[in-house]
Structure 1
Amino acid sequence: MTEISRRALIAAAGGAMAATSAAAQSAAPAAPLPERGGKGADILGPQNRPRAAEEPFTLAPPATDHGTMPNLKWSFSDSHMRLEAGGWARQTTIRELPVSKAMAGVNMRLKGGAVREMHWHKESEWAYMIKGRARITAVDQDGRTFADDVGEGDLWYFPGGIPHSIQGLSADGIDGCEFLLVFDDGGFSEDSTFLLTDWLAHTPKDVLARNFGLPESAFAKIPEKELYIFPGPQPGPLAADRMGGSGPVPKTFSHKMLAQEPVRTRGGSVRITDSTVFPASATIAAALVEVEPGGLRELHWHPNGDEWQYYLSGQGRMTVFGSESKARTFDYQAGDVGYVPFAMGHYIENTGDTTLTFLEMFKSPRYADISLTQWLALTPHPLVQAHTGLDPKLVEALPETKSPVVPG
Structure 2
Amino acid sequence: MLLKIFALGVIVSSTFVHGAPTRTSPERRQDGDNPPFRGSTALVGYNPTNTLTNEDTDDIEFEFAPGQTADANIGQYLNFEDIENPQPIRGSRGGTDPGPQTPEYSRLNPDKLAPPGTDHGQTINAQWPMGLSHVKAGIDRAGWSRQENTQVMPDAKAMAGVDMRLEPGAYRELHWHVAGEWALMLNGTVRIAAINEEGESFIDDVSKGDVWFFPPGVPHSIQALDGGAEFMLVFDDGDFSEDNTFLITEIMAHHPREVLAKDLSVDISAFQDIPAGELFIFPGTPAPHNISEQNVTSSTGPITPRDSYSFHWSEQPAHRVEGGSIKIVDPVTFPIASNFAAALVTVHPGAMREIHWHPASDEWTFFLSGKGRATLFTPPRTATTFDYLPGDVGYFPQSNSHYIENVGDEDLVFLEVLQADRFSDISLGQWLGLTPPQVVIDTLNLSPETVSKFPKEKPFIVQG
Residue 209 of structure 1 pairs with residue 261 of structure 2? yes
Aligned ranges 1:107-186 → 2 under 5 Å: 107-170=163-226, 175-186=227-238
**Do the aligned residues in 1 keep the contact of 2:123 with 2:377 (CA within 8 Å)?**
no
**Do the aligned residues in 2 keep the contact of 1:29 with 1:50 (CA within 8 Å)?**
no
RMSD: 1.4
**Alpha-carbon separation, structure 2, partners of 1:101 and 1:304:** 15
**Do the aligned residues in 2 keep the contact of 1:274 with 1:367 (CA within 8 Å)?**
yes
Supply the AA of the counterpart residue of 1:339: Y
Residue 67 (structure 1) shift: 1.4
Q: How many residues align?
A: 378
* Residue 225 of structure 1: aligned partner: 277
Residue 31 (structure 1) shift: 5.0
Residue 304 (structure 1) shift: 1.2
- Which structure has the bigger radius of gyration? 2
* Residue 295 of structure 1: aligned partner: 351
**Alpha-carbon separation, structure 1, partners of 2:104 and 2:83:** 6
**Alpha-carbon separation, structure 1, partners of 2:85 and 2:201:** 54
Report which stretch shifted further, 334-343 or 232-241: 232-241
**Alpha-carbon separation, structure 2, partners of 1:32 and 1:387:** 39
SS at match of 2:404: strand
* Residue 91 of structure 2: aligned partner: 37
Alignment gaps of 5+ in structure 1: 1-26
* Residue 243 of structure 2: aligned partner: 191
Q: Deviations over 1:287-328 (max 9, x none)?
A: 101000000110111011110000000001001111111111
Q: What is the percentage of aligned positions where both structures have the same residue?
A: 47
Residue 366 (structure 1) shift: 1.2
Residue 136 (structure 1) shift: 0.4
**Alpha-carbon separation, structure 2, partners of 1:29 and 1:179:** 35
SS at match of 2:105: helix
Residue 240 (structure 1) shift: 1.4
SS at match of 2:150: coil
Distance of aligned partners of 1:361 and 1:395 in 2 relative to their CA distance in 1, 3 Å threshold: same
* Residue 22 of structure 1: aligned partner: none
SS at match of 1:131: strand
Residue 30 (structure 1) shift: 4.1
Report which stretch shifted further, 179-188 or 393-402: 393-402
**Alpha-carbon separation, structure 1, partners of 2:85 and 2:423:** 38
Distance of aligned partners of 1:28 and 1:205 in 2 relative to their CA distance in 1, 3 Å threshold: farther
**Alpha-carbon separation, structure 2, partners of 1:31 and 1:272:** 42
**Do the aligned residues in 1 keep the contact of 2:158 with 2:236 (CA within 8 Å)?**
yes
* Residue 352 of structure 1: aligned partner: 408
Residue 33 (structure 1) shift: 1.4
**Do the aligned residues in 2 keep the contact of 1:108 with 1:178 (CA within 8 Å)?**
yes
Aligned ranges 1:299-338 → 2 under 5 Å: 299-338=355-394
SS at match of 1:180: strand
Report which stretch shifted further, 65-74 or 181-190: 65-74
**Alpha-carbon separation, structure 1, partners of 2:408 and 2:85:** 16
**Do the aligned residues in 2 keep the contact of 1:124 with 1:283 (CA within 8 Å)?**
no
* Residue 15 of structure 1: aligned partner: none
**Alpha-carbon separation, structure 2, partners of 1:156 and 1:297:** 25
**Alpha-carbon separation, structure 2, partners of 1:70 and 1:270:** 27
Q: Deviations over 1:182-215 (max 9, x none)?
A: 0000010111010001000011111111111111
Q: Deviations over 1:351-392 (max 9, x none)?
A: 100000000011112111000111111112211111122222
Residue 57 (structure 1) shift: 1.2
SS at match of 2:338: coil
What's the TM-score, normalizing by structure 1?
0.90
Distance of aligned partners of 1:335 and 1:37 in 2 relative to their CA distance in 1, 3 Å threshold: same
Q: Deviations over 1:82-109 (max 9, x none)?
A: 1112100110001111111000000000
Supply the AA of the counterpart residue of 1:74: W
**Do the aligned residues in 2 keep the contact of 1:31 with 1:53 (CA within 8 Å)?**
no
**Alpha-carbon separation, structure 2, partners of 1:30 and 1:223:** 55
Residue 120 (structure 1) shift: 0.4
SS at match of 1:209: helix
SS at match of 1:102: coil
The structure with higher relative contact order (CA 8 Å, sep 6+) is: 1
Supply the AA of the counterpart residue of 2:108: E
**Do the aligned residues in 2 keep the contact of 1:28 with 1:50 (CA within 8 Å)?**
no
Aligned ranges 1:279-290 → 2 under 5 Å: 279-290=335-346
Would you tell me which structure has more helix in proportion to its own residues?
A: 1
Q: Deviations over 1:245-264 (max 9, x none)?
A: 22222311111223223221
* Residue 247 of structure 1: aligned partner: 301
**Alpha-carbon separation, structure 2, partners of 1:70 and 1:293:** 27
**Alpha-carbon separation, structure 1, partners of 2:320 and 2:440:** 28
**Do the aligned residues in 2 keep the contact of 1:28 with 1:49 (CA within 8 Å)?**
no
**Do the aligned residues in 1 keep the contact of 2:365 with 2:394 (CA within 8 Å)?**
yes
Residue 54 of structure 1 pairs with residue 108 of structure 2? yes
What's the TM-score, normalizing by structure 2?
0.80
* Residue 68 of structure 1: aligned partner: 122
**Alpha-carbon separation, structure 2, partners of 1:59 and 1:73:** 15
**Alpha-carbon separation, structure 2, partners of 1:292 and 1:281:** 30
Supply the AA of the counterpart residue of 1:238: I
Corresponding residue to 1:378 among 414, 417, 434: 434
* Residue 80 of structure 1: aligned partner: 134
* Residue 291 of structure 2: aligned partner: 238
**Do the aligned residues in 2 keep the contact of 1:69 with 1:322 (CA within 8 Å)?**
yes
* Residue 37 of structure 2: aligned partner: none
* Residue 260 of structure 1: aligned partner: 316
Q: Deviations over 1:235-278 (max 9, x none)?
A: 01211122222222231111122322322111111111100111
Supply the AA of the counterpart residue of 1:79: S
